[in-house]
Structure 1
Amino acid sequence: MNRTTARGTAAVTGAVLALGLGLSAPGAQAAPIPAPAGSDPAPAAAGARYLAAQPGADSLVKTFYVYPEGNPPQSYTDYGLTVDLGFALDAVGSQGAKLTAVTDALVANIGNYAFSGGARAKLASFLVAQGRTGASITELVTALEGNVSEEAGIVGRLVDADPNDYNSPLTQAYAASALDLAGSDEAAAARTFLLAQQCDEGFFRQDFSAKDAADQTCDGAATTTPSVDSTGLAVLMLQSQKDEPVVAAAIESAVAWLISQQADNGSFGGNANSTGLAGWAMGVAGATDYAADAASWLRAHQLANAGACVPFATKDSGAVTLDDLGFANAKAGALDAVDNSVATRASTQAVPALLWADGGNAMGKPSVDATAKLVRAGSQQPVTLTGAPGDTLCVSAAGARTLVTLPATGTARSTVTLPARTARTAVSVVDAGGQTASVTIRGLAGLKVRFATATKVRKGKRVVVKVRGLAAGESITVAFRGKKVVTTKANASGRKTVRFRATKLGRAKLVVRGEFANRRGTKVVTVTR
């Protein structure tokens, strides 16, 4: 069997996307996911705020696009994306009023969207999970049951009339969830057909076999395309049935395959859609370490202002961009309508996965370290930043600010420039969640060192030098006749008294130097008989 792994929305046919059947998440959710231990709630909460701002006055989401290229943006009411947004808000759990409004709007628009098996399955999986009942919901489920085949060879398969049948294991997963939650007699058949789309390696494939194929299973196909998205969605949609041994085994195998496909940087295919869906699936299935790796990559692609570092428009804050290019482009200015639609679609799948972002008071509070030594004023000094992988930090020092995104290691280096004057410079750090840390760097400018000493001293007697006006702990070097005679440090008050014996007659220069060569003072001392 020939296989190539498909990742991301590029693996979904244009027709499926046009019908709003893009990927989303568990119809069996219907309740916020409990905060994982050691996680930082800030990224998911910020993402939920962004998503909650996307529906219009009618509580539905519009998608903007340009076609043909060069024309003004056009838009359409995207019911499928609105469902995705509802799933995300449900999982994160911090936008209850908006979730209710979105759900109400979808109920009111069942007739405007649910005209195919896939659309009915997706919408029903969400509305039934939200506990909605009534005649319109009953009619929706009944219509969905009519899309479940009873034909020999494809019993349980979600179908539409050809040539407009765009169903796949993705829509089958929605159907299996919706029918199970609704208590439908068709639930078992739909689930059985869904599980048949899983190959022995653990993945769920991207496409069904032809309806007239003798073998409708994944393993029985001559060629098949493994899909991260189909696999992740199946794991999520089967959560309400995981008490069944056959389902539990399928989930375990699917999660193991997802783990095997995860890149070293935590992503799946380098895009937020697949990474979010897979991370979400791994998280709810208990593979929390791998879910945290995915969340770190997503967090590094989230538009997050921190403290006084505000490179992103306020309206865009919390959005998760599709990929590296999308994140880079967002720094150029506010997202336009089309780019915002792309970010909204990515965020609906990414935001729930951010629930597994490392951090919180347990491990994610940022820290900043710098040299404890005295350094030259006006110099550039490295600082080491640590915190949750993917977290956004604003580093401020001497009026300058730098935005830093922590890599997967959770450690990064930045550079601050000290004032040209002697000063204790505070280097402060604040992350996107408002957690802070700081360190102080002491910089020393040039100085004429002040000290008191006798201008004459007898040979064999001690020369007493009283130094003042230095920094606490500053190095002091005393030289007489061009030779170093004392090395010490200033006390907490920047003072020090040193002594050395005069051994040679005559006039000689006494030099007191501080930490650096530009901090020095000189006097002439005469040694007499």
Structure 2
Amino acid sequence: MHHRIRPIRTAAVALSTAALGVGVLAAPPVAAEPTPALRAAKATVKTDSTPSTIAAEWLADELTNGLMVGENGPDFGLTIDTGMALSTVVDQGAVNAQITTALEARIDDYVGDGTKESYAGPLAKAAAYAKVAKRNPTSYGGVNLITRLEERTADVPADPAAEPQAAAIAGRIFDKSEFGNYANVIGQSYAVRALSQARSTEAAAARDFLLKQQCASGYFRARFEKANVPNQSCTEGAPGSEADPDATALAVINLVESDDKTPAVQAALDKAGAWLVDRQRGSGAFRAAAPISKINTNSTAIAGFALGLLKERDAALKAALWVRKNQPVDKYKCRTALTKDMGAVAYRKDRVKASSTTGIPASARDEWRRATAQAVLGLQFAPASKDDLKIVSVRKQARAGERVQFRVYGLAPSESACMQVKGDFRRVKGKKSGDKIVRKLQLPAGNQRRVGLVKTSDDEARTSLRVRN
């Protein structure tokens, strides 16, 4: 099922709670929408909604009855990532409603049954999504996610001096499972967000424990110490305290969304933001932590989104431009095997090249989905075009076979387009400066007027000139 929306090429902020109908609905569903933090971050920025919108449309088409389904069945975590992404894009309310309905019906499969199995990170992430989707996290699919999360959050001892180890782990989340404890710093950041938004009495302890996971230079590590270790804080240079850009970016995002204005949180955000800015490459990209250690759109998009929320606009813009370069838009004469997947974002540039002739392989579809879910966030800060789309021929007439110069105006930075006349075409991308693109196209035979076209994912412009043999 397609959920097509005509994107807005140039918009400071586009907000709507109007739901896009899916089938016949008695009443429109309550629509998720950009959070106050995102609205505030974009309030003074002129952005292009096209790349995030077409990415969201592709993601929506990848859902099966409201869930992301992979080779091993439903992937609830990726489904929530998708829902979080779609909530930032105008008019995706009906799709979010489908996701919510599907998740609520299967919530125990994701968070555990609450007795033998209870998973802290999934509880926190589901509660955070429930809030985004305008549902009640204390009664989500019949489950009180907040109460269960509080049960998985270590209590502050009555006498910290008498129980130093209990005091050291106070606020830390733990899984209850016969399969082991896999709780980590990313889950902790979602717990802080969910507990803070629910005004839980355990929010402060969870927040304080999260802040312990930030090292002196500003980054957050990804893993906790073992529970019996007296020092539960990040120790720069020590094994297990390696820098992790993804964990840092998600900690920033979730702390901002927690709306905790305490000085300790503001100081942590300042340090984390400065570290991310320093970590960003000149291209705008970010490299993942070891063992992946590669530049990729996942790390770049969430880091860019985090920086955007912190109003580090230049850094967010650079990240968005780099992510957009990895969103192939091959249309009309420039068609490839990826044209049918317009809007999808590749994890790395080499994936685009590999899939241009074969399409996205079934074995790689999961990777494209994960990359695109994060890319929607980073693309929120993609800069807008300076002008309306326009193509101009430098000559009024020319001879058949000549190569004639055409000028294209109004491409947003990094935006993909196809220039063409009959018999010839060129792929082009908008300049970082937003200035005109100049390319030559070879004219076909025939004594007649020919049309020069430029086509983007959501727009087109044309001009004409006289051709003589």
- Confirm or deny a common fold (TM above 0.5): yes
Which one of the candidate residues 408, 426, 431 is aligned to 1:402?
A: 426
Which one of the candidate residues 146, 149, 154 is aligned to 1:149?
A: 154
Which one of the candidate residues 325, 345, 348 is aligned to 1:300?
A: 325
By how many angstroms is 1:39 displaced? 1.3
Give the 3 Å change call, closer, same or farther, for CA 369–209 of structure 1 in structure 2.
Answer: farther
Instruction: Provide the secondary structure at the position in 1 that maps to 2:183.
Output: coil
Which one of the candidate residues 45, 60, 64 is aligned to 1:56?
A: 64
Matches within 5 A, 1:356-375: 356-360=381-385, 363=386, 365-368=388-391, 371-372=394-395
Matches within 5 A, 1:431-450: 431-436=456-461, 438=463
- AA aligned opposite 1:160: D
Give the 3 Å change call, closer, same or farther, for CA 135–33 of structure 1 in structure 2.
Answer: closer
Instruction: Provide the secondary structure at the position in 2 that maps to 1:208.
Output: coil
- For the Cα contact (< 8 Å) 1:31–1:90, is it kept in 2? no
By how many angstroms is 1:347 displaced? 0.8
By how many angstroms is 1:126 displaced? 1.2
Q: Which residue of 1 aligns with 2:344?
A: 319
By how many angstroms is 1:382 displaced? 4.8
Which one of the candidate residues 78, 83, 86 is aligned to 2:83?
A: 86
Instruction: Provide, for residues 333-376 of structure 1, a one-character-per-residue CA deviation record: whole Å limited to 9, x for no partner.
Output: 3323332221111111101221211124xx16445566459766
Q: Which residue of 2 aligns with 1:250?
A: 268
By how many angstroms is 1:442 displaced? 6.7
Q: Which residue of 2 aligns with 1:166?
A: 182
Which one of the candidate residues 245, 267, 271 is aligned to 1:228?
A: 245
Instruction: Provide the secondary structure at the position in 2 that maps to 1:238.
Output: helix
Q: Which residue of 1 aligns with 2:290?
A: none
Cα distance between partner residues in 2 of 1:244 and 1:211? 27
Give the 3 Å change call, closer, same or farther, for CA 242–369 of structure 1 in structure 2.
Answer: farther
By how many angstroms is 1:400 displaced? 2.7
Q: Which residue of 1 aligns with 2:379?
A: 354
Matches within 5 A, 1:262-273: 262-269=280-287, 270-273=295-298
By how many angstroms is 1:202 displaced? 1.6
Give the 3 Å change call, closer, same or farther, for CA 371–314 of structure 1 in structure 2.
Answer: closer
Q: Which residue of 1 aligns with 2:227?
A: 211
Instruction: Provide the secondary structure at the position in 1 that maps to 2:85.
Output: helix
Instruction: Say how many residue pairs are matched.
Output: 405
Cα distance between partner residues in 2 of 1:251 and 1:242? 11
Cα distance between partner residues in 2 of 1:242 and 1:305? 44
Q: Larger Cα Rg: Structure 1 or Structure 2?
A: 1
- For the Cα contact (< 8 Å) 1:312–1:330, is it kept in 2? yes
- For the Cα contact (< 8 Å) 1:31–1:93, is it kept in 2? no
By how many angstroms is 1:443 displaced? 6.4
By how many angstroms is 1:222 displaced? 2.2
- AA aligned opposite 2:364: D
Give the 3 Å change call, closer, same or farther, for CA 220–414 of structure 1 in structure 2.
Answer: closer
Instruction: Provide the secondary structure at the position in 1 that maps to 2:376.
Output: helix
Give the 3 Å change call, closer, same or farther, for CA 326–413 of structure 1 in structure 2.
Answer: farther
2:126 is equivalent to residue 123 of structure 1: yes
Instruction: Provide the secondary structure at the position in 2 that maps to 1:100.
Output: helix
Q: Which residue of 2 aligns with 1:484?
A: none
Instruction: Provide, for residues 30-73 of structure 1, a one-character-per-residue CA deviation record: whole Å limited to 9, x for no partner.
Output: 5794466321111111111111112112x111123xxxxxxxxx
Cα distance between partner residues in 2 of 1:254 and 1:32? 17
- AA aligned opposite 2:429: T
- For the Cα contact (< 8 Å) 2:37–2:309, is it kept in 1? no
Percent identity between matched residues is: 32
Q: Which residue of 2 aligns with 1:241?
A: 259
Cα distance between partner residues in 2 of 1:382 and 1:261? 41
- For the Cα contact (< 8 Å) 2:33–2:89, is it kept in 1? no
Instruction: Provide, for residues 284-307 of structure 1, a one-character-per-residue CA deviation record: whole Å limited to 9, x for no partner.
Output: 221122212111111111132445
- For the Cα contact (< 8 Å) 2:331–2:339, is it kept in 1? no
By how many angstroms is 1:229 displaced? 0.5
Instruction: Provide the secondary structure at the position in 2 that maps to 1:157.
Output: coil
Unaligned 5+ segments in structure 2 are: 1-31, 113-118, 156-165, 288-294
Cα distance between partner residues in 2 of 1:218 and 1:29? 32
Report the TM-score when normalising by structure 2. 0.78
- For the Cα contact (< 8 Å) 1:371–1:441, is it kept in 2? no
- For the Cα contact (< 8 Å) 1:205–1:230, is it kept in 2? yes
Give the 3 Å change call, closer, same or farther, for CA 242–149 of structure 1 in structure 2.
Answer: closer
- AA aligned opposite 1:149: A
Which one of the candidate residues 138, 141, 144 is aligned to 1:139?
A: 144
- AA aligned opposite 2:169: I
By how many angstroms is 1:215 displaced? 1.8
Q: Which moved more, 1:138-147 or 1:400-409?
A: 400-409
Q: Which residue of 2 aligns with 1:175?
A: 191
By how many angstroms is 1:407 displaced? 5.4
Cα distance between partner residues in 1 of 2:79 and 2:139? 22
